[in-house]
Amino acid sequence: MNIDKCTAIDEYLKREFPNSEIEQANFAGCQHYKIQTENNLLMLKVGEEFIGDTSLKDIIQNLEEWEVPNLLKENSRLGILITRAGASIYERNL
């Protein structure tokens, strides 16, 4: 997994969720981000293919265009998965 791209996603999330604790890990072909806000634990998975096939600039642009921070907030009990096809919601184990 491209460390620079994963770090850029982490920095983007830190800007969008200030004062939140963000953890990341890589497994099952995705980079996982846990965002602990004051009231919720938000989950974001970013597919390895998306990270590998997309430029750094386009990754951030897509996250903005797909309104990923809003999707995370609106679906706080679910998770958001990012792939080349876009953003989708998935059931997560709480």
> Residue 1: what pLDDT?
73
pTM, two decimal places: 0.91
Cα-based distances in Å from 90 to 71, 76, 81: 12, 11, 7
Cα-based distances in Å from 52 to 18, 29, 31, 48, 92: 27, 11, 11, 6, 24
Q: How many domains does the chain have?
A: 1
Query: What confidence tens digit (pLDDT) does each residue in 29-62 have?
Result: 899 999 999 999 999 999 999 999 999 999 999 9
Range of the domain at 35: 3-90
